[in-house]
Amino acid sequence: MNKKNLVVFSAIQPSGNLTIGNYIGVLKHWKKFQKFYKCIFCIADLHSLTSLNKENILDRKKSILDTLALYLACGVDPNKSIIFIQSSVSEHSELNWILNCNTNFKELMRMTQFKNSLKNINNNLNAGLFNYPTLMAADILLYDTDKVHIGKDQKQHLELTRNIAIRFNNCNKNIFKIPDFLMIKTGSKIMSLLNPKKKMSKSDKNHKNVIFLLDNSEEIFKKIKSAVTDSNNPPNIFFDPKKKPGISNLLVIFSTLSGISLCDVKSYFLGKSYSQFKNIVFKVINNCIKKIQKKFFFYRKQEELLIKIAFEGAKKASFIAKRKLSEVYNSLGLLKKF
């Protein structure tokens, strides 16, 4: 099959605080995907409402535009791909409801991300957090998606999406295409700098754990300098996430940004001290982030252009989504006229 006929879907929750982990695991690959696939890139603003608090109500519009500008800065091209904001295409919310009615409560209870929220937020947990995966399933299933590009932590949500779609198809003809994973092996999970057993997260309260795409050089330098390594003497720089989680995390960052493979890093850093190693890692990160920032600020200044791109993308997305939703409504005997 001509790959260009395959639809790739991906989304990120809006935040001006996207991290080097978001970049390496997800964003970095979108530019080249555009050459091979029909790409649909969404800004999942409705998902971000699940972490509603005072501060981010004021910042939401800014975060959405920041994210859009970051997509463009990373090489997503609105002439090649559909870029849109989730809330602009109301079919997502409509299909979400229908999928909720086809999802078992127990399936949602099993979701690790939800269970972690339950542990961490417990007494202020909103129902949106529980239903989060069915909205994600709606995002994916509306577009006859062949491949969903996700980081490792979202794998379980995609498995659930597949199960929901298969079950729905069994009762209602083959309405949904069953989506596959598109996961990049190296770098799909970048870890925290001070605690390399935990995923790097944009919502981490300790900013020393995280390199943000909008950090300045000085901040990046300090964060890399304070990143956990180990006390091997003489220093030993090679990839082994179990025995050397801190070093291995920095090596993954280095390798994915420099193009030097994880097999070659050992000889590349042979004889270097940890401090020299960190200087080199810093330089690679800093170069990459500076390039992104330059383009980011170029687009971010042009708010009207950003809004135009998002709305034109929404029109294209809506055209596809409506068609699918009308099939779903018909199959359920609902009488809405599309």
Q: Can you give the binding site for ligand TRP, defined by CB under 6 A?
A: 9-13, 44, 47, 136, 139-140, 148, 150, 154
Question: What is the Cβ-side half-sphere exposure of residue 123, based on CA atoms within 13 angstroms?
Answer: 0
Min separation Cβ 271 and ligand TRP, Å: 39
CB of 319 to ligand TRP, least distance (A): 19
Closest by CA to 186, choosing from 260, 278, 279, 282, is 260
Q: Are 292 and 74 in contact (CB under 8 A)?
A: yes
Distance CA 175, CA 95 (A): 13
CB atoms within 10 A of CB 83: 25
DSSP tally for the chain: helices H, then strands E: 14, 5
3-state secondary structure of 130: helix
Shortest Cβ 185–ligand TRP spacing (Å): 18
Q: Which long-range contacts (CB under 8 A, 24 or more apart) does 164-170 make?
A: 164/99, 164/102, 164/103, 164/134, 164/137, 165/137, 165/141, 167/102, 168/99, 168/102
- Which CB, 9 or 254, lies closer to ligand TRP? 9
Q: What is the DSSP letter of 192?
A: P
As given in the structure block, the two tokens for residue 327 are: 């099939």
Minimum separation from the CB atom of position 130 to ligand TRP (A): 14
- CB nearer ligand TRP, residue 11 or residue 220: 11
Indicate the residue among 48 and 229 with the shorter CB distance to ligand TRP.
48
C-beta closer to ligand TRP: residue 144 or 219 = 144
Residue 188: CB minimum distance to ligand TRP, A: 11
Write down the least CB distance from residue 139 to ligand TRP, Å.
4
Q: Which is nearer to ligand TRP, 139 or 286 (CB)?
A: 139
Nearer to ligand TRP, 81 or 154 (CB): 154
Nearer to ligand TRP, 7 or 309 (CB): 7
What's the closest the beta carbon of residue 258 comes to ligand TRP, in angstroms?
25
Would you say 146 and 10 are in contact if contact means Cβ atoms under 8 Å apart? no
